[in-house]
């Protein structure tokens, strides 16, 4: 199933190809307006885009930038309350904005098809997978009976699903997430469309599966000569797939160009900010250049450049007039006043240069070359011994965490990395005692805190251990004021003398996380995701904890906001001497923030090492597969990488039982004697 990426790309050659052609689809001055309970929202603000045959165009933007809405216009799938109020979309000699629903049937699916984000909701759970693909085949290719069935088998095989005869008869719930997405892609390409729109097709999938799906899309494109529009918020994915990149902000394309131009020579301050804020380009131990604020609210009228209020390079005119589009090269256009001849000359920020220079390796500073295991004074804070967590009982018993051992030392950031369902969140929750553990024990400063413990101990543990949650939308009580949310812990243990002291504490912690004291009288829904996440952090900080379990604290946030939260966590670590258990699935973030990393697979930690050591000498095949799949925001490197696929059957544990062993100081691997010997040899070389 391993699908190799094509080797080095020649973007210049592609640019020439594109320039020589007429656009396949041409959207001019498109404006889309939604009506929401009487209020008008302009989601797309007069933007234009040309699509050329055979190319892969990636559209990048934060949530609310209008990237999905814009492309939905190309398939006539705008929601009922939305309409195209201006502009034209020319395709095949026709203006798509003027098509009737009947005419759309000849275009949608046949000529222009779409793959959406969540494979679970785009498949019908009551029909077999084969039947659903065959429907598309019958409808669009006019085949019937046996021929249609044969064609379906062929398509299933072409999207990398083995044993198509058996798979044909199965239902969507019998498929894994990645397999389901393959089926959705199969349906979309069943009628050999000319244009395929992929709307965040891999966002809900794990990195290793994501890499496979990306490779599949790329192969299908080559085989069928499709033109692909790829919508994503992940710059690593963009680097992997795109020939051309369009950056959207506030309902407009603000920069468009060949992938190498946008990544290495961008000229819109938003693109600069977006790239600079990537943790991959961060210097460990230093602050990431974060973008302040939040994306614009499209209910308000936007004057000038939508990005201006957040733009450190904003000119006075940015607040007054919308910038025109300036050409940088024949294929590269930027919508920013900064490119005007009258504007002051500025250089691109450092981080942009760094992207090209560092070749995908983070800058190593003193902070990064610090080796925790050489520190003689380090003391264990949390010890997890032989922890096992099972859910259900009897035949339905499910082992979520399987005999896991690790120690977190005081003052470090310990990361737990794994795919969804690997048990990483369960471990975090078991440590803070939301989930009970089945066997084993958890020690906090040498004292057992799992199982039944005394009341005083219980209070002590609650006060010294806190948790930060993944989804800032779900982790705050919507119906309580910020003041109550933050003081909840204070109320529970009456940690204040009088009302005045309580309020002072709330104000202090709000300031600490970078929010204004006045915010305490508001409700959470008034805040953006990043602000809400900071409120959640304030809620745990007010307990004066020593140890915080951060459960994917940034994965639900927009790219531009992630850096704010990462900076805050690092800042708190320094100023309060906190210790973190950082749970994540994104290795690039983990490398930036952590001192030591544990890789978990199917409830078992397979490898544990110091951060840089793990990236330099990954030993376990699963770690290697995970590392190879991490998207890198450098198109040349990303496209040249070879994907490794982890196959658990390489381990033969039938005779020789595996053990958890420290191979070199502070580098642990799970393996049997033969494997461990191999790993040792690997490290020596």
Partner 1 sequence: MAKNTQKKMPKPEHEKTVQELETPVPDLSVDYSTVDHEPKKERPMGREHLRSRDVMPEKQLFEFAEYKPQEAERTGYSNYSYWKSVWQNFLKKRSAVVMSLVFLALFLFTFIAPAISKYDVNSLRVDANLAFISPNGEYWFGTDNLGRDYWSQVWYATRASIILAVSVSFGQIILGVIIGLVWGYVRKLDRFFTELYNLVDNVPVIIYMTLIAMMLDKSMLTMGIAMILFNWLGTARNVRNLVLMYRDREYNLASRCLGTKLGRILFRNIFPYLISMIILRLALAIPGTIAYETTLTYLGLMDVSMPSLGILLRNSRNFFLDYPYILIFPAIIVSIITITFYLVGNAFSDACDPRNHL
- Residues 14-43 binding partner 1 (CB under 8 A) are 36-37, 39
Stretch that binds partner 1, among 12-20, 315-323, 400-408, 591-599 (CB under 8 A): 315-323
- Other Cβ atoms within 10 Å of 453 Cβ, number: 15
Between 146 and 345, name the residue whose CB sits nearer to partner 1: 345
Q: Hey, is 283 helix, strand or coil? A: coil
Between 115 and 461, name the residue whose CB sits nearer to partner 1: 461
**Site residues (CB under 8 A) for partner 1, limited to 261-300:** 287, 289-297, 299-300
The residues, ordered by sequence, that sit 6+ positions from 93 with a Cβ below 8 Å of its Cβ are none
Site membership for partner 1, residue 525 (CB under 8 A): yes
- Selected binder of partner 1 within 43, 184, 314, 482 (CB under 8 A): 314
E strand or H helix at 415: strand 413-417
Stretch that binds partner 1, among 125-133, 175-183, 531-539, 651-659 (CB under 8 A): 531-539
Site membership for partner 1, residue 466 (CB under 8 A): yes
Between 224 and 459, name the residue whose CB sits nearer to partner 1: 459
Between 87 and 553, name the residue whose CB sits nearer to partner 1: 553
Site membership for partner 1, residue 318 (CB under 8 A): yes
Between 171 and 484, name the residue whose CB sits nearer to partner 1: 484
In this structure, what are the phi and psi dihedrals at residue 470, rounded to the nearest 5 degrees?
-70, -50
**Which DSSP category does 525 fall into?**
G
Stretch that binds partner 1, among 350-358, 461-469, 613-621, 675-683 (CB under 8 A): 461-469
**Which DSSP category does 309 fall into?**
G
Between 66 and 193, name the residue whose CB sits nearer to partner 1: 66
Distance from C-alpha of 216 to C-alpha of 243, rounded to nearest angstrom:
16
DSSP per-residue letters across 439-451:
EEEEEETTEE-SS
Q: Look-up: residue for tokens 């992630």?
A: 562
Stretch that binds partner 1, among 203-211, 311-319, 443-451, 615-623 (CB under 8 A): 311-319
- Selected binder of partner 1 within 320, 330, 374, 659 (CB under 8 A): 320
Q: How far is the CB of 519 from partner 1 (least distance, A)?
A: 7
**Site residues (CB under 8 A) for partner 1, limited to 562-601:** 564, 567-568, 571
In this structure, what are the phi and psi dihedrals at residue 6, rounded to the nearest 5 degrees?
-65, 145
In this structure, what are the phi and psi dihedrals at residue 199, rounded to the nearest 5 degrees?
-100, 100
Site membership for partner 1, residue 460 (CB under 8 A): no
Between 201 and 250, name the residue whose CB sits nearer to partner 1: 250
Pairing status of strand 333-334 against strand 252-258: antiparallel
- Selected binder of partner 1 within 374, 434, 659, 673 (CB under 8 A): 434
**Site residues (CB under 8 A) for partner 1, limited to 99-138:** none
- Selected binder of partner 1 within 120, 204, 317, 363 (CB under 8 A): 317
Q: How far is the CB of 319 from partner 1 (least distance, A)?
A: 5
Q: How far is the CB of 472 from partner 1 (least distance, A)?
A: 9
Q: Hey, is 498 helix, strand or coil? A: coil
Q: How far is the CB of 195 from partner 1 (least distance, A)?
A: 33
**Site residues (CB under 8 A) for partner 1, limited to 190-249:** none
**Site residues (CB under 8 A) for partner 1, limited to 373-432:** 429, 432
Q: How far is the CB of 583 from partner 1 (least distance, A)?
A: 13
Which is nearest to 94 in space by CA: 103, 86, 85? Answer: 103
Token pair of 509 as six digits:
């912690």
CB-based contact 170:128 (threshold 8 Å): yes
Site membership for partner 1, residue 344 (CB under 8 A): yes
| CA distances, 598 to each of 367, 467, 631 (Å) | 20, 19, 19
- Maximum distance among all alpha carbons in the chain? 80
Site membership for partner 1, residue 526 (CB under 8 A): yes
Between 299 and 398, name the residue whose CB sits nearer to partner 1: 299
- Selected binder of partner 1 within 540, 579, 611, 644 (CB under 8 A): 540
The residues, ordered by sequence, that sit 6+ positions from 624 with a Cβ below 8 Å of its Cβ are 618, 644, 646
Distance from C-alpha of 555 to C-alpha of 454, rounded to nearest angstrom:
36
Site membership for partner 1, residue 319 (CB under 8 A): yes
E strand or H helix at 95: strand 94-95
CB-based contact 272:354 (threshold 8 Å): no
Q: How far is the CB of 312 from partner 1 (least distance, A)?
A: 5
CB-based contact 631:237 (threshold 8 Å): yes
Between 146 and 494, name the residue whose CB sits nearer to partner 1: 494
- Other Cβ atoms within 10 Å of 464 Cβ, number: 18
Distance from C-alpha of 566 to C-alpha of 553, rounded to nearest angstrom:
9
Distance from C-alpha of 653 to C-alpha of 170, rounded to nearest angstrom:
32
Distance from C-alpha of 214 to C-alpha of 277, rounded to nearest angstrom:
24
Q: Hey, is 331 helix, strand or coil? A: coil
Site membership for partner 1, residue 337 (CB under 8 A): yes
Between 38 and 93, name the residue whose CB sits nearer to partner 1: 38
**Site residues (CB under 8 A) for partner 1, limited to 469-508:** 469-471, 474-480, 484, 488-489, 491-493
Q: How far is the CB of 141 from partner 1 (least distance, A)?
A: 41
The residues, ordered by sequence, that sit 6+ positions from 16 with a Cβ below 8 Å of its Cβ are none
Stretch that binds partner 1, among 156-164, 208-216, 456-464, 620-628 (CB under 8 A): 456-464
Q: Hey, is 681 helix, strand or coil? A: helix
Between 474 and 673, name the residue whose CB sits nearer to partner 1: 474
Q: How far is the CB of 461 from partner 1 (least distance, A)?
A: 9
**Site residues (CB under 8 A) for partner 1, limited to 142-181:** none
């Amino acid at each position: 199933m391993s699908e190799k990426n094509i080797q080095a790309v020649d973007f210049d050659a592609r640019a020439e190809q594109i320039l020589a052609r007429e656009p396949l689809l041409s959207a001019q001055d498109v404006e889309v307006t939604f009506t929401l309970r009487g209020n008008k929202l302009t989601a797309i603000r007069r933007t234009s885009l040309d699509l050329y045959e055979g190319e892969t165009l990636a559209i990048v933007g934060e949530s609310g930038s209008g990237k999905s809405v814009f492309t939905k216009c190309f398939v006539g799938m705008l929601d009922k309350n939305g309409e195209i109020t201006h502009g034209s979309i020319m395709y095949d000699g026709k203006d798509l904005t003027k098509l009737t629903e009947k005419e759309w049937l000849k275009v949608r699916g046949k000529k222009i098809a779409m793959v959406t984000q969540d494979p679970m909701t785009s498949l019908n759970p009551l029909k077999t997978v084969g039947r659903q693909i065959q429907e598309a085949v019958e409808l669009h290719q006019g085949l019937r009976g046996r021929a249609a069935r044969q064609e379906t088998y062929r398509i299933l095989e072409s999207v990398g699903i083995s044993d198509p005869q058996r798979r044909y008869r199965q239902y969507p719930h019998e498929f894994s997430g990645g397999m389901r997405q393959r089926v959705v892609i199969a349906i979309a390409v069943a009628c050999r469309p000319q244009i395929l729109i992929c709307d965040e097709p891999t966002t809900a999938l794990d990195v290793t599966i994501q890499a496979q799906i990306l490779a599949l899309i790329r192969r299908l494109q080559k085989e069928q000569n499709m033109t692909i529009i790829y919508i994503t918020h992940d710059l690593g994915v963009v680097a992997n797939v795109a020939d051309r990149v369009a950056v959207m902000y506030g309902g407009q394309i603000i920069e468009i160009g060949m992938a190498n131009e946008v990544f290495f020579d961008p000229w819109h301050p938003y693109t600069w900010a977006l790239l600079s804020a990537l943790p991959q380009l961060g210097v460990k131990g230093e602050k990431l250049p974060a973008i302040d604020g939040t994306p614009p609210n499209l209910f308000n009228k936007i004057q000038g450049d939508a990005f201006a209020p957040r733009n450190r390079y904003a000119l006075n005119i940015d607040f007054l007039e919308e910038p025109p589009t300036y050409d940088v090269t024949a294929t590269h256009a930027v919508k920013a006043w900064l490119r005007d001849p009258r504007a002051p000359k500025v250089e691109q920020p450092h981080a942009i240069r760094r992207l090209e220079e560092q070749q995908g390796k983070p800058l190593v500073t003193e902070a990064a070359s610090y080796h925790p295991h050489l520190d003689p004074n380090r003391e264990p804070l949390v010890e997890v011994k032989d922890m096992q967590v099972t859910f259900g009982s009897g035949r339905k018993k499910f082992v979520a965490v399987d005999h896991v051992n690790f120690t977190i030392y005081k003052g470090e950031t310990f990361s737990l990395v794994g795919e969804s369902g690997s048990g990483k969140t369960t471990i975090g929750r078991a440590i803070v005692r939301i989930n009970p553990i089945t066997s084993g024990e958890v020690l906090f400063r040498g004292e057992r805190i799992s199982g039944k413990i005394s009341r005083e101990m219980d209070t002590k543990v609650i006060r010294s251990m806190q948790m930060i949650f993944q989804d800032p939308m779900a982790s705050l009580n919507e119906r309580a004021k910020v003041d109550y949310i933050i003081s909840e812990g204070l109320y529970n243990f009456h940690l204040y003398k009088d009302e005045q002291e309580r309020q002072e504490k709330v104000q202090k912690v709000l300031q600490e996380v970078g929010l204004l004291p006045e915010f305490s009288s508001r409700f959470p829904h008034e805040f953006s995701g990043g602000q809400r996440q900071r409120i959640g952090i304030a809620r745990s900080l007010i307990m004066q904890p020593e140890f915080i379990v951060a459960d994917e604290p940034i994965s639900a946030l927009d790219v531009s906001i992630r850096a704010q939260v990462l900076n805050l966590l690092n800042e708190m670590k320094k100023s309060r001497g906190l210790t973190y258990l950082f749970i994540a699935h994104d290795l690039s973030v983990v490398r930036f923030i952590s001192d030591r990393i544990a890789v978990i697979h199917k409830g078992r930690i397979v490898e544990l090492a110091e951060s840089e050591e793990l990236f330099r000498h990954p030993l376990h095949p699963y770690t290697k597969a995970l590392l190879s799949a991490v998207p890198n925001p450098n198109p040349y490197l990303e496209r040249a990488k070879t994907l490794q696929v982890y196959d658990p059957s390489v381990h033969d544990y039938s005779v020789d039982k595996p053990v958890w062993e420290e191979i070199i100081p502070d580098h642990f691997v799970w393996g049997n004697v033969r494997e461990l010997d191999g790993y040792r040899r690997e490290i020596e070389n």
